Amino acid sequence: MQDIKTLELVSVRDHGLDEYWLQDYICQNPTCLGLGDIELVSKEKKQSSGGRLDILMKGSDE
């Protein structure tokens, strides 16, 4: 049987951090997302339609 964890909702800003810190953390530690074995493809990728994609990752088997 799996252990079920109840997590506490926290504000990144309340801890003196920001979106860029979180983005860097996720890019350096993609396993924190719990999505299996994924790897960084691009960060702040420009889109042809305008704007940017914050983080682009792919499965390691692709």
Question: Structurally, how many domains does the chain consist of?
Answer: 1
In a domain, 27, yes or no: yes
In a domain, 19, yes or no: yes
In a domain, 47, yes or no: no
The whole domain housing 27 covers: 11-35
Q: What is the pLDDT of residues 33-59, one digit of tens each?
A: 989 899 999 999 999 998 999 999 999
In a domain, 3, yes or no: no
In this structure, are residues 11 and 19 in contact, taking their beta carbons and an 8 Å threshold? no
pTM for this prediction: 0.74
